[in-house]
Structure 1
Amino acid sequence: MHSFVRSSLFATTILASAAIGLPSAQAKDGAEDVAANAASAISADDDQGTTSIGTGARDRGVDIVVTARRRNESSQEVPLAISVVGGDHIDATGSFNVGRLQQITPTLQFYSSNPRNTAVNIRGLGAPFGLTNDGIEQGVGIYVDDVYNARVASATFDFLDVAQIEVLRGPQGTLYGKNTTAGAINITTNQPTFDFEGKAEVSVGNYNFKQAKAAISGPLSETLAARLAISSTSRRGTIYNVTSNRWIQSQDNLGLRGQLLWKPTDTLNITFAGDYSVQDAACCGSVYVRTGATQRALNRQFAALAAAQGYAPSSTNAFDRRTDLDANLNAGNKIGGASVRVKWDVGPGTLTSVTAWRFWDWKPENDRDFTGLPIVSKSQNPSQQDQYTQELRYNYSGDKFDFVAGAFGFYQRIDTQGTEQHGAASSRWNINPGTNAQVPPGSSGCGPTAANQLACDPATLNGLVAYNTQYLKNTSAALYGQVSWHLTPELTVQPGVRLNYDKKDGYYQRRVFNGAGDEILLSGPSSAVKTAQLAIFTPQEISPNFSDWNFSYDFNVSYKVTPDVLVYATYAKSFKSGGINQNGVPTDAANNPILASATVKPESVQNYEAGIKTQFWDRRIIFNLSIFRTDIKNYQANVNNGQFGVLRGYLANAGAVRSQGLEADFSVRPSERFNAYVNGAYTDATYRKFVDAPCPPELSGGTTVAAGQVPAAAGTPGLSPANCDVSGQRLPGVSKFSFSFGAEANVPATILGKEGEAYVGYDGSVRTNFSSNPSASAYTWVDGYSLSNFRAGFRTEAGFNVYGWVRNAFDQNYYEQLFVGPGNTGLIAGLPGDPRTWGFTVSSNF
């Protein structure tokens, strides 16, 4: 689809990369531009130990400039836990989106079964694990050049011309436009310059991997400068679908960003920016992993159901990377927008206005039964979003105090149209034939009873379809501010406040039709066939809404023990807005929606944090340590009932959640020839009180217990509890221990008459096991794993760089996620992580 654009881009970047003799541009547009400051200082990445490519000799630390507190300052001066990753390190490690960024920032968690169902969490908090629900906020704010991105789907796109990324840990609501209760990812791109400069990069690798990046910047007049960047990534899929004879989980990304800087005076600059990115991958699927015993009758568990229909998975070894999914797969994804940023030096401070519009267009096709059988023949929920934001803030920096005060407005409209349809194998898979006998392989399993006849007649559910229509109108407004009062040159107190208003109006409608095209209504005559069909899809129409004010605040105290040692402590009281259920709600015995479940309460967050930031050995060594505890009441959790179509999943409030732990960042650069880093996190994130959680598959599938009855043992057919108490269990997706580490060494070298340095680098990561289900299950623990990435190459002072790389060098088999198959049949599917990949990269600055 993008072959012409991609070919043109590759030709351009190859030509540009060949220009190795051109001098690199040195000038940047003003000290106030973070991108320019980051480019000159990123070689001393305090949290990642990153080295700059082609910056020349350096034997002591250089401050990293960040905007965590909405002003330019050294990261070691900021009294909060922050990780900074430079653009060069992003390129060198192949971390070209947030998903890969988690390998070098151990406190970050990223999970994505497809772009829409993506979660980005910090310290285990942010968004509930599982299917995405549009009716709540994400908790971790993603900002690109001060513009808030409401959809986490934006995190699945390639980074485009990035200068640096700051990962801020803990609540940031008194500094950022949208309340960010778990943290923020602040992405800064390279800005237009008044000196001509450019860069180009081409990478090729196995699995037909091809990536090209190019950027050019320079003046159009004395007051006008422009920058244009483009990126393209393509790769063959890593999983082979024997049904479609097609590789899936491919990459096919194209991105474009343009910026225009108008600087009529020294005190005023206005930046117009626009971007557009598109993904057109063969995605997203899964592979068979295993089965586990549930409480369903034995003849209704996976082995018996598959045998009765003569079905066997294409492979029972997940790392054969073979699947047989029979429904169409697609992950069409477009995102983009435009913004105007005005920075005006007014009096002693700077007034900043950021006006932005963003859109997101999602056109998916999925196989929700995770098998090669026509159980669910269609699962498509295309969605369209428009969002508008306006932020106005004033920053002041002085000898005695600094402050930022701001106002933020947000409006979002999301429209979704869903189609879910069942196929010829659905009747046998979903209708209870009323016997607990094991079905022998190859037998029909059909008997004379009415239930058996329904189960054995494909027409009962074949063609049954539900059409879902929903929309969300989300409005938010806030006033926020923070003051840093320097009581002495060493002691600073920093209070912050935020007043927030949120309003959500939603609509959800599900209409159900049988295979003949007749609408199925709750009213009217009943029949055994209708009852069986309503057990799969229940008509529903609700209009949930929510509105509320909240007030949050934080208080920070920091003290400089010495010029290179900073200690700090923070308390923050924050809120995550309440939400609405946009995917439907549970029903009562008469199939009427339980409207009390239509809304979820706001999360109430209390965060305690203390830390120390240190520099030693003439700033060659940096060591930062933070400890934290976050308590959340009314935690917004995902609940799934295990059925195919009654509900895809809905939101409910867990009583309480706690995340606590310790984070450490260490880097050392004894000379210009060597640097190393080690980052680690211990995260203890648990449900403190969740007594009515969804049960794991081993405690699901049987007849729900009545009063006085006792549930069967786990994995034993019989009675199942209505819900489970998971208090004390670990939150899903969170490893207790995670580490990233690496080193790079170089020596002077001359190649083809070009003086430079030869180098070799290593980056590794380790994480311990984590649960891949909202309620921990013995079947869905993902084992811990380690990844190792190597690179070796040659670079020059002028900005030419050529290197080879190997990622997941030891071909570690690991899962990114495991999924519980619908229907409580015991099926567990999974998404394997990338195998070993290797390739070569050539880049040049000019």
Structure 2
Amino acid sequence: MASASNRGAWSSALIKIALSTSALTGVSAPALAQDTATTAAPSTVDPNEIIVSARRRSETLQDTPVAITAVNAAMIEDKAAVNIGDLMGTAPNLIITNQASGAAAANLSIRGLTYADVEKSAEPTVGVVVDGVFIGTSTGQYFDFFDIDQIEVLRGPQGTLFGRNTIGGVISIRRSRPTGKFGVKAEVSYGKFNTLATRAVVNVPLGDKLAVKGFYFHNESDGWYRQGQDGRRRGGSNNENFGVSVLATPTDNFEALLTLEKQVQKFDPVVSVLTNSSELFCGLAPAEQCNRNNTDDLYTVFGEPNTGRYSAPAATLEMNLNAGDVKLTSVTGYRKSKEAQTQDFDGSSTDLYYVFRGQKYNQFSQELRAAGNLSSSFDYVVGGYYFRSNYELDQFTRIFGFSPGVDPRAFDKNPQHVEGKTRSVAVFGDFNWAFADKLRLSFGGRFTRDKKSLSNAFGGVLIGQGSDSFKKFTPKIGVDYRPNKDVMLYASWSRGYRSGGFSPRAGSAASASRAYGPETVDSYEVGGKFDLIDGMLQVNLAGFVSKYKDLQQNNNIFCSSCATQNETVTSNVGSATIKGIEGDFTLKPAQGLAITGAVGLLKSKFKDFIVGGISPVTGAVIPFDFSNNDLIYNPKITASFGANYTVPTSFGEIVGNIGYRFIDRYDQQISIAGLTGNTTTGPAIVTGNDPRVRTDKQNLLDASLTTRFNLAGAEAHLTAFGRNLLDDRGPTHGFTVGGLFSFGNAREPRSYGLTLGIKY
């Protein structure tokens, strides 16, 4: 326990902090992770420090001039966290939801920057990087949290080191490496909704130079929806992820880590009805299936049975060579996937809009890096990157079929076929120069060239195709100042870039062959990191302004010449300004007790968001001004507060964990609530987004109690956990389709369960 003098200093410091800022936010408890691809961390690092690799270097969290939240394996275990969605709210201005229209698909937003789409041509604005490999689509991003060493959430553009399509930020996941010692880590969980999870990792040494790790994860659930007609469970899933990692260390200065894995998923991609009286499908469905609310009603569904199947093998090879003054790193990644999915998109019991989607996708990436020190005051990371991807989509649509027993592939004689390709090359450099006492300059940049092509056909007849190239230099510069060992202040400017492309849902020749351009973000940030009360309290603060230009937005419009009578076209639609404040704190007032908190504040505004829409008076295309609409996935406040308390016992220890997260309301789709202005010739003024695509305020309370003990020579733990204990119900996703119908998805209601695990 702290002495009386330390307690006085602690109280004084807390009062000063409370008076100076309202933006205290949460960082994880101490973690230790290694990035073998980077320069070594100082040998004098405090074992309680958090080591991160956000800048492709091993640095302590408090010495990194980047807004970052780190979560380590112990925290994940104590919180009974299941997947990447459990990070939402724990890091400031971070939103993560599961996208039901794709396998293991995630909608990600950092600092209000997002692009929520499951199409393979729609690259994310937030990069998910697993063991150094960028996942090129939202499919497969909803990641399992077993066998994780550390997760780092980097906020703001990360284009210099992590590449294009990271204008919002990066979630970097580093899994455990083979240990070279025999060991087993396994657990089984059972909970509400008949949820069963079994996971195991086995480490085996093969001599002094070779280590092997095998892993197997299984997760199944009946789902939390009920079928309105008979009450049975809907929305279930069965997931498998398995593989092997081999670490070879033939010499003291070289290592190679190869991971081969496969993810297999079978799931029911159910949606809930949100259609109302203003839409065509409402008149064709039973009355009780229209004008439903987007809270409790979401948990009852009426649609036909769906099946989604997903198979995704992958390989990652990381090699590191320590050549004296320079460390060389190669990261090679290959992923491919195959999907077959049926979905009743209108969600009603009337057969109105039912599809079969078959997709194939593959990506290959190669990164080469060199890192080192030119002097004691100057270090660098330089490298090159190559990425390619190919995908095919076949969609069969049964629209107004009124034939629920007919396979869409037999019904649709005019199916859509899309093929797309992406090729990208880049060179980059990132440098630190301690040019004066207590001052350091960080600077760098990346030059990227992308080439994309896409073709779109219906019924074997080519509608349109296009090919285009995009290139951009994205620089970054910053300075940090360390007046003493406990304080770091920094300021930076960086530019993020997201490549242009083509619209896969275009139904007309003109739309299918027309490329939309890149979008960019200029981010200006100032921040500070503070160690207080002899390391008992850590506080990190950041403020930023993001200038978002040439926004890429989906617009769903009526198309009389299109096979489906509507098309979704991506276009560049003006600009936006996003301002925010973030902070986090970790407080350890007593032995075994850690208290954390986080808050993020956002304020955003569109400018000159004008696109073509259909006049409700004449039916002609006229200008629609969406500038008054809210940006999607932009809650004004995200906040969290948590406490973790460990009590030693005669048989081991007991760990209690409680966490509260608040997510303010936010919209999920640019849509139309109403129109004012000139609705005949334009511009028509859109009064905001449709309220059905709005997520209400969320108050999420989670808790767990873990007992750790010895079991037959192994370390064992038994955890009782509860998630969303307040049973806060509402939507995670809502979508309206061109005046035809609307659908949504519900967030997980209250759940609970038990986990038994062993490790030896």
Using structure 1 for the length normalisation, give the TM-score: 0.77
Q: Paired residue for 1:831, among 735, 745, 750?
A: 745
Change over 3 Å in CA distance of 1:492–1:72 after alignment to 2 = same
| Map of 1:114 onto structure 2 | 101
- Gaps spanning 5+ residues in structure 2: where? 1-24, 33-45, 404-409, 672-688
Alignment-mate amino acid for residue 548 of structure 2: I
Q: Paired residue for 1:651, among 570, 573, 594?
A: 570
Change over 3 Å in CA distance of 1:469–1:409 after alignment to 2 = same
Identity %: 26
Say yes or no: does 1:496 pair with 2:444: yes
| Map of 2:113 onto structure 1 | 125
In the TM superposition, what is the alpha-carbon distance from 1:136 to its structure 2 partner? 3.9
- Conserved 8 A contact 1:70-1:404: yes
| Map of 1:792 onto structure 2 | 705
Alignment-mate amino acid for residue 793 of structure 1: T
In the TM superposition, what is the alpha-carbon distance from 1:622 to its structure 2 partner? 0.8
Structure 2 distance, partners of 1:583, 1:290, is: 22
| Map of 1:475 onto structure 2 | 423
In the TM superposition, what is the alpha-carbon distance from 1:50 to its structure 2 partner? 3.4
| Map of 1:737 onto structure 2 | 637
Structure 1 distance, partners of 2:535, 2:57, is: 23
Q: Paired residue for 1:554, among 455, 459, 476?
A: 476
In the TM superposition, what is the alpha-carbon distance from 1:791 to its structure 2 partner? 1.1
Alignment of 1:611-630 (within 5 A): 611-630=527-546
In the TM superposition, what is the alpha-carbon distance from 1:646 to its structure 2 partner? 3.1
Change over 3 Å in CA distance of 1:823–1:349 after alignment to 2 = closer
Change over 3 Å in CA distance of 1:604–1:177 after alignment to 2 = closer
- Conserved 8 A contact 2:106-2:138: yes
| Map of 2:376 onto structure 1 | 399
Structure 1 distance, partners of 2:347, 2:616, is: 21
Alignment-mate amino acid for residue 739 of structure 2: N
- Conserved 8 A contact 1:160-1:257: no
In structure 2, the residue corresponding to 1:663 is in which secondary structure?
Answer: strand
| Map of 2:20 onto structure 1 | none
After TM superposition, the runs of 4+ consecutive aligned structure 1 residues lying more than 6 A away are none
In the TM superposition, what is the alpha-carbon distance from 1:257 to its structure 2 partner? 2.9
| Map of 1:420 onto structure 2 | 397
In structure 2, the residue corresponding to 1:285 is in which secondary structure?
Answer: coil
Change over 3 Å in CA distance of 1:501–1:118 after alignment to 2 = same
| Map of 2:187 onto structure 1 | 201
Structure 1 distance, partners of 2:604, 2:203, is: 45
Structure 2 distance, partners of 1:290, 1:421, is: 18
Say yes or no: does 1:387 pair with 2:363: yes
Say yes or no: does 1:507 pair with 2:422: no
- Conserved 8 A contact 1:733-1:772: yes
| Map of 2:551 onto structure 1 | 635
Between stretches 94-103 and 488-497, larger displacement belongs to: 94-103
Alignment of 1:511-590 (within 5 A): 511=459, 541-585=463-507, 587=508
- Conserved 8 A contact 1:503-1:546: yes
- Gaps spanning 5+ residues in structure 1: where? 1-45, 54-59, 427-461, 513-538, 588-592, 695-699, 707-720
Query: What per-residue deviation string (whole Å, max 9, x for no partner) do you get for residues 605-657 of structure 1?
Result: 21111110111112111100111111121111111126892345221111112
Change over 3 Å in CA distance of 1:412–1:828 after alignment to 2 = closer
Say yes or no: does 1:145 pair with 2:131: yes
Alignment of 1:33-72 (within 5 A): 47-50=26-29, 62-72=48-58
Higher Cα Rg, which structure: 1
| Map of 2:665 onto structure 1 | 769
- Conserved 8 A contact 2:118-2:138: no
In structure 2, the residue corresponding to 1:791 is in which secondary structure?
Answer: strand
Structure 2 distance, partners of 1:417, 1:132, is: 14
Change over 3 Å in CA distance of 1:693–1:83 after alignment to 2 = farther
In the TM superposition, what is the alpha-carbon distance from 1:812 to its structure 2 partner? 1.4
Root mean square deviation of aligned Cα: 2.8
Structure 1 distance, partners of 2:447, 2:219, is: 42
Change over 3 Å in CA distance of 1:290–1:380 after alignment to 2 = closer
Say yes or no: does 1:287 pair with 2:272: yes
In the TM superposition, what is the alpha-carbon distance from 1:61 to its structure 2 partner? 7.7
Structure 2 distance, partners of 1:421, 1:290, is: 18
Structure 2 distance, partners of 1:508, 1:749, is: 65
Alignment of 1:310-329 (within 5 A): 312-313=288-289, 316=292, 319=296, 323-329=300-306
In the TM superposition, what is the alpha-carbon distance from 1:466 to its structure 2 partner? 3.2
Alignment-mate amino acid for residue 50 of structure 1: A
In the TM superposition, what is the alpha-carbon distance from 1:65 to its structure 2 partner? 1.1
Structure 1 distance, partners of 2:670, 2:413, is: 28
Query: What per-residue deviation string (whole Å, max 9, x for no partner) do you get for residues 685-741 of structure 1?
Result: 3322202266xxxxx7945456xxxxxxxxxxxxxx745212143211221101111
Structure 1 distance, partners of 2:690, 2:550, is: 23
- Conserved 8 A contact 1:567-1:612: yes
Structure 1 distance, partners of 2:665, 2:358, is: 34
Change over 3 Å in CA distance of 1:424–1:379 after alignment to 2 = closer
In the TM superposition, what is the alpha-carbon distance from 1:134 to its structure 2 partner? 3.1
Say yes or no: does 1:158 pair with 2:158: no
Query: What per-residue deviation string (whole Å, max 9, x for no partner) do you get for residues 398-429 of structure 1?
Result: 52111000100011111111111224449xxx
Structure 1 distance, partners of 2:422, 2:446, is: 19
In structure 1, the residue corresponding to 2:141 is in which secondary structure?
Answer: helix
Alignment of 1:139-538 (within 5 A): 139-242=125-228, 246-281=232-267, 283-289=268-274, 291=276, 294=278, 302=282, 304-306=283-285, 312-313=288-289, 316=292, 319=296, 323-376=300-353, 378-397=354-373, 398-425=375-402, 463=411, 465-511=413-459
Query: What per-residue deviation string (whole Å, max 9, x for no partner) do you get for residues 241-299 of structure 1?
Result: 24587522223111113111110111000111111111112x212223563x54x7xxx
In structure 2, the residue corresponding to 1:198 is in which secondary structure?
Answer: strand
In structure 2, the residue corresponding to 1:174 is in which secondary structure?
Answer: helix
Alignment-mate amino acid for residue 198 of structure 2: A
Structure 1 distance, partners of 2:482, 2:139, is: 40
Change over 3 Å in CA distance of 1:562–1:48 after alignment to 2 = same
Aligned length: 692
In the TM superposition, what is the alpha-carbon distance from 1:211 to its structure 2 partner? 1.1
- Conserved 8 A contact 1:466-1:510: yes
- Conserved 8 A contact 1:406-1:479: yes
Structure 2 distance, partners of 1:464, 1:157, is: 35
- Conserved 8 A contact 2:363-2:390: yes
Say yes or no: does 1:781 pair with 2:694: yes
Between stretches 827-836 and 468-477, larger displacement belongs to: 827-836
Say yes or no: does 1:676 pair with 2:604: no
Change over 3 Å in CA distance of 1:245–1:352 after alignment to 2 = same
Structure 1 distance, partners of 2:602, 2:617, is: 37
Structure 1 distance, partners of 2:548, 2:468, is: 20
More strand by share: 2
Structure 2 distance, partners of 1:571, 1:611, is: 12
Say yes or no: does 1:749 pair with 2:649: yes
Query: What per-residue deviation string (whole Å, max 9, x for no partner) do you get for residues 17-43 of structure 1?
Result: xxxxxxxxxxxxxxxxxxxxxxxxxxx
In structure 2, the residue corresponding to 1:155 is in which secondary structure?
Answer: coil
Alignment-mate amino acid for residue 739 of structure 1: A
Structure 1 distance, partners of 2:30, 2:53, is: 20
Structure 2 distance, partners of 1:172, 1:322, is: 38
- Conserved 8 A contact 2:503-2:568: no
- Conserved 8 A contact 1:280-1:331: yes
Alignment-mate amino acid for residue 196 of structure 2: K
Structure 2 distance, partners of 1:425, 1:412, is: 38
Change over 3 Å in CA distance of 1:247–1:489 after alignment to 2 = farther
Alignment-mate amino acid for residue 774 of structure 1: I
In structure 2, the residue corresponding to 1:207 is in which secondary structure?
Answer: coil
Structure 2 distance, partners of 1:804, 1:701, is: 56
Alignment-mate amino acid for residue 221 of structure 1: G
